Amino acid sequence: IQIMYDDDDYPVQAQDGSYYRSNSRANDDEGAHSDSTEGHDEDDEIYEGEYQGIPRNDSVEKADRQVGEVGQSQFRDMAQYEGERRKDQEELAQQYETILQECGHGRFQWTLYFSGFVLPSAEKDMCLSEPNKGMLGKSRTAHYFQMGSAYQFHSWRVFVLVCAFPAVAAIAALTTMPESPRFFLENGKHDEAWMILKQVHDTNMRAKGYPEKVFSVTTIKTVKQMDELVDMGGDATAWHQRWRIKLTNLFHQVWGNFLTVFNPEYRRITYMMMAVWFSMSFSYYGLTVWFPDMIKYLQKQEYSSRTKVFIKEKVEHVTFNFTLENQIHRNGEYFNNKFLNLKMKSMVFEDSLFEECYFEDITSSNTFFKNCTFISTLFYNTDLFKYRLINSKLINSTFLHNKEGCMLDFSDENNAYMIYFVSFLGTLAVLPGNIVSALLMDKIGRLRMLAGSSVISCVSCFFLSFGNSESAMIALLCLFGGISIASWNALDVLTVELYPSDKRTTAFGFLNALCKLAAVLGISIFQSFVGITKAVPILFASGALAVGSFLALKLPETRGQVLQ
């Protein structure tokens, strides 16, 4: 075989298989290939821009495709992780319900009621199986009873002490209260959760007389966890920077957990629960504060109707040593009179003259001297301070040894006691409602109890417009409190059952914060109408309760469902 070369030393093969020399440069341009490019695709050829560092368009598109594939892979990994986590949570919910039934309901659960109303979610995650979930509403009983009993004391020091004691007792009880096993399982801490559940089982079995019964659970499903790398800054970072990083990470975790409450799957429930909580708090707290103020206003109106008025009286050389109460003296003249060891209650002297008078050991409440003149008058050991002498003149008059201590002007003690007693009756009236709601919660369902008690509360609130006497208002207050507490118990249980374990406390805390905001708004609005009209507060409260009961019917029923 003869190999022929062209002018550029490139061998060329003829059609018959032999090589020949090319006589034309066009052969190179039209179809010839060099050995260096033989076997390569056109995509691998180097184009002129690459020598200048400019990437080809197809290279950019290829890099974008690779980045997109990585992002899709990460998204698939996250979706797979969420799916596995959701599956683990469903399996854990079923198994956890079975474990709680084996642990039973007994002494361990009853110890939680001593620190009741601390956090219903923690109590539910801790120890309540399906047949006993409705008992959660009883945690409010001690709370209201403590509030009511505290109102019987008149001394503010005793009142503060009584109010502080339950809080201190709750803190002491929380130190001995174990962590929720459900929380441990959600965070992958199997052994810690198993030890707590075994403690619950052993405590209840010993109390029931079966100490030999063994906790048969050996393995509990845990939820799949995602490893998170948190940069703490290293050892070289200052302590305040490490704390700042910790607080920043904690804030992001809390905020992220809060936003999960508004995820698409919980958004509708959250908005409806917000409306129900707001309407209930607005009406309940607004009315409970408006009731005592309204009763106080009725008492004041009745007291004012019995006021005695004296005009242009002249009194000389008289000793007053008895109680002076609910009187108005106008344009009077008092000469050489003695006011000794007496109490003045709701006394008003207007445009009166006191000359050569003597006041000794005087205790007063709601007593004022307006535009009066005192000439050669001595005040000894009295509480007639200058703020009681409104636009009055003192001529050659002296104050000696004024009373010391609290200078607040307290109203009549009996009326104050009546206000406290009315509040105590209102809080005491919730005890029957607590008991009934705890017993019927699992029988009639959460929604029926919530909506039904809200409707009845709305009707009882409407009848407030016909209560013109003190006794009628007190009776309606007790009726309203006893019925509305069932709504609160059902709302508490429904709230903690609508959300999964990892979102339960966040949702409950957020709704409670919204509840306090609605309470402040309701109290402010309702109090502004005291003494003006009863129609507006009653309409506001009735309308809010009606809206709350209507929205409650749109919520899903959780009776008999396994908690996620």
41 pLDDT above the threshold of 60: no
Residue 439 and residue 540 share a domain = yes
Residue 328 and residue 272 share a domain = no
Question: How, if at all, do strands 19-20 and 12-13 pair?
Answer: antiparallel
Average pLDDT over residues 66-92: 61
Residue 199 and residue 172 share a domain = yes
Q: Are 549 and 455 spatial neighbours (Cβ–Cβ below 8 Å)? A: yes
Task: Extract the tokens encoding 413.
Answer: 């003690």
Whole-number average pLDDT of the chain: 72
DSSP 92-140: HHHHHHHHHHHH-SSHHHHHHGGGTTS-HHHHHHHH--GGGGGGGGGHH
* Band of pLDDT at residue 564, cut at 50, 70 and 90: low
Q: Are 151 and 427 spatial neighbours (Cβ–Cβ below 8 Å)? A: yes
Q: Does any domain span residue 55?
A: no
Task: Extract the tokens encoding 43.
Answer: 């995509």
Residue 333 and residue 292 share a domain = no
Q: What is the spatial distance between Cα 444 and Cα 421, in angstroms, rounded to a whole number?
A: 34
Average pLDDT over residues 4-29: 45
14 pLDDT above the threshold of 50: no
Residue-level pLDDT at 559:
67
68 pLDDT above the threshold of 90: no
Residue 312 and residue 297 share a domain = no
The CATH number given to whatever domain includes residue 315 is 2.160.20.80
28-32, 114-118, 252-256, 329-333: which is most confident: 329-333
Give the domain-ending residue among 400, 428, 444.
400
Residue 418 and residue 389 share a domain = no
Q: Does any domain span residue 563?
A: no
Least confident piece of the model among 56-60, 180-184, 213-217, 362-366: 56-60
Residue 419 and residue 272 share a domain = yes
What pLDDT, in 10s, does the model give residues 150-168? 344 455 677 778 778 877 8
18 pLDDT above the threshold of 50: no
Residue-level pLDDT at 95:
67
Residue-level pLDDT at 160:
77
Residue-level pLDDT at 43:
47
List, in sequence order, every residue forming a beta bridge with 360; answer none if it has no partner: 340, 380
What pLDDT, in 10s, does the model give residues 284-318? 888 878 877 777 777 788 888 889 999 999 999 99
More confident residue, 219 or 539: 539
The full length of the chain comes to 564
Q: Does any domain span residue 278?
A: yes
Q: Are 422 and 296 spatial neighbours (Cβ–Cβ below 8 Å)? A: no
Domain that holds residue 292: 259-301+413-552
Spacing of C-alpha 490 from chain mean position? 16
445 pLDDT above the threshold of 50: yes
520 pLDDT above the threshold of 50: yes
The CATH number given to whatever domain includes residue 421 is 1.20.1250.20
Residue-level pLDDT at 489:
84
At residue 461, the 3 state secondary structure works out as: helix
Helix or strand holding residue 315 (H, E) = strand 314-316
Q: What is the spatial distance between Cα 547 and Cα 527, in angstroms, rounded to a whole number?
A: 22
Residue-level pLDDT at 253:
78
Residue 288 and residue 419 share a domain = yes
Residues with Cβ within 8 Å of 335's Cβ and at least 6 positions away in sequence, in order, are: 314, 315, 316, 317, 355, 356, 357
Q: Does any domain span residue 65?
A: no
Residue 159 and residue 97 share a domain = yes
Residue 456 and residue 474 share a domain = yes
**Nearest alpha carbon to residue 539 among 525, 558, 556:** 525
Question: How, if at all, do strands 378-382 and 398-400 pair?
Answer: parallel
Q: Are 198 and 184 spatial neighbours (Cβ–Cβ below 8 Å)? A: no
**Nearest alpha carbon to residue 95 among 214, 5, 182:** 182
Q: What is the spatial distance between Cα 343 and Cα 26, in angstroms, rounded to a whole number?
A: 131
Residue 336 and residue 211 share a domain = no
* Band of pLDDT at residue 23, cut at 50, 70 and 90: very low
Percent of the chain with pLDDT over 90: 11
Residue-level pLDDT at 32:
44
Residue 522 and residue 384 share a domain = no
Average pLDDT over residues 83-89: 68
Least confident piece of the model among 399-408, 416-425, 511-520, 551-560: 416-425
Residue-level pLDDT at 348:
93
Q: Does any domain span residue 105?
A: yes
Residue-level pLDDT at 297:
79
What pLDDT, in 10s, does the model give residues 348-407? 999 999 999 999 998 888 899 999 999 999 999 898 888 889 999 999 998 888 887 655
**Nearest alpha carbon to residue 259 among 93, 507, 539, 2:** 507
Q: State the CB neighbour count (10 A cutoff) for residue 180.
A: 22
Total domains, the chain:
4
Q: State the CB neighbour count (10 A cutoff) for residue 233.
A: 14
What pLDDT, in 10s, does the model give residues 123-152? 444 444 444 444 444 444 444 444 444 344
21-55: burial string, b at 16+ Cβ within 10 Å, e else: ebeeeeeeeeeeeeeeeeeeeeeeeeeeeeeeeee
Q: What is the spatial distance between Cα 463 and Cα 471, in angstroms, rounded to a whole number?
A: 14
Q: Does any domain span residue 54?
A: no
Q: What is the spatial distance between Cα 427 and Cα 438, in angstroms, rounded to a whole number?
A: 17
Q: Is the dihedral of CA 405, 409, 412, 413 positive or negative?
A: negative
